[in-house]
Amino acid sequence: MMTLIGKEISLKGSFRFTSEFNTAVSWLANGVINPLPLLSAEYPFTDLEEALRFAGDKTQAAKVQLVF
């Protein structure tokens, strides 16, 4: 906890749908589902501003992924 406070990290959790989340993670890990068709675009983190502009255009973007 002190690391979170010291680095001013915000931690947000989820309290619902825990079994669905675990199922989704398992499916992704085991290749049951392919998430790539859900992505509208992928941007390197250095192009964050452009990625946000694109993501804000809901006529083109559904999901935009940042690559670190």
pLDDT in tens, 15-54: 777 788 889 999 999 999 999 999 999 999 999 999 999 9
What is the phi/psi pair of residue 17, to 5°?
Answer: 60, 35
Distance CA 57, CA 5 (A): 35
pTM above threshold 0.85: no
pLDDT of residue 27: 96
Distance CA 17, CA 32 (A): 19
pLDDT of residue 5: 82
Name the band, by pLDDT with cuts 50, 70 and 90, for residue 55: very high
Residue found by looking up tokens 């989704």 in the block: 24
Cβ contact 63:38 at 8 Å: yes
